Amino acid sequence: MPTTREAESLLNRLEQIYPDASCALVYSSAWQLLVATILSAQCTDKRVNLVTEDLFRQLPTPASLAAAEVAEVEELVHSAGFYHSKARHLQGCAQAILDRHAGEVPNQLCELVKLPGVGRKTANVVLGNIFNVPGMVVDTHVRRLSRRFGWTGKSEPVQIEKDLCLLLPASRWTQCGHTLIEHGRVCCKAPVPYCSQCPVIDLCPRIGVGKSH
């Protein structure tokens, strides 16, 4: 495992390269971001943004979504994939927010993860981007890069999140997720990263030029 100083040196370089890295989902409220993040499972952000444009226009609030016919919700989210389960999760989440939180998205991780369809990744996305509560988002990109960087040897997202939170100060958690995701999309791809084009190859402890993991 690298030291915090070594990890921050790499992260500093990446943040200079991707100064505008941010959440790619389009939203204007905590509810919209929560919905979009639930839909983003096994789906691109670009596709989610197309889906939510219609969804938020027709069913803009937790109350309207909870009251809708399930077939209507399934039709609206169909192109995001896994539409049966996603529609069920969205309606269950909407109803739980109405029943337990007076229609407002909670701002605590322990309450967010009790909502249908909401795991730690989704909860941390909402906490970090809406409520300015530090959250380490571990998606497929963060999982891949943190292992390649040697920041963790774990494979389970919860354990990776724990390792990264121990390695980096809380003030960096939210932006770290955005930055690693951007680098993962642009350069450090799966299954083979573009090591020969990587701007931080000299700081990467596990990948040499032309070598993939």
- Tens-place pLDDT, residues 57-110: 999 999 999 999 999 999 999 999 999 999 999 999 999 999 999 999 999 999
**121 assigned to active site:** yes
pLDDT bin (cut points 50, 70, 90) of residue 205 is: confident
Pick the catalytic residue from 114, 139, 162, 202.
139
Q: Can you tell me the distance from the alpha carbon of 8 to that of 12, in angstroms, rounded to the nearest whole number?
A: 6
* Dihedral sign (CA 143, 135, 121, 71): negative
Pick the catalytic residue from 45, 99, 114, 121.
121
pLDDT bin (cut points 50, 70, 90) of residue 1 is: confident
The pair of structure tokens assigned to 18 is: 């991707």
Q: Can you tell me the distance from the alpha carbon of 16 to that of 35, in angstroms, rounded to the nearest whole number?
A: 31
The per-residue pLDDT for 206 is 64
- Span 160-185, mean pLDDT? 98
- Span 170-188, mean pLDDT? 97
Taking a C-beta distance cutoff of 8 angstroms, is the pair 47, 79 a contact? yes
Q: Which overall architecture, per CATH, does domain 4-21+136-203 show?
A: Orthogonal Bundle (1.10)
Domain over 30-130 is classified CATH 1.10.340.30: yes
Q: Can you tell me the distance from the alpha carbon of 134 to that of 147, in angstroms, rounded to the nearest whole number?
A: 21
**139 assigned to active site:** yes
Domain with CATH 1.10.340.30 in the chain: 30-130
**Structure pTM?**
0.92
Look up residue 120 and give its amino acid: R
In the chain the first and final C-alpha atoms are separated, in Å, by 17
pLDDT bin (cut points 50, 70, 90) of residue 207 is: low
- Span 21-36, mean pLDDT? 98
The pair of structure tokens assigned to 23 is: 């959440």
| 213 has a pLDDT exceeding 60 | no
Domain with CATH 1.10.1670.10 in the chain: 4-21+136-203
Residues 6 or more apart in contact with residue 42 via CB below 8 angstroms:
81, 82
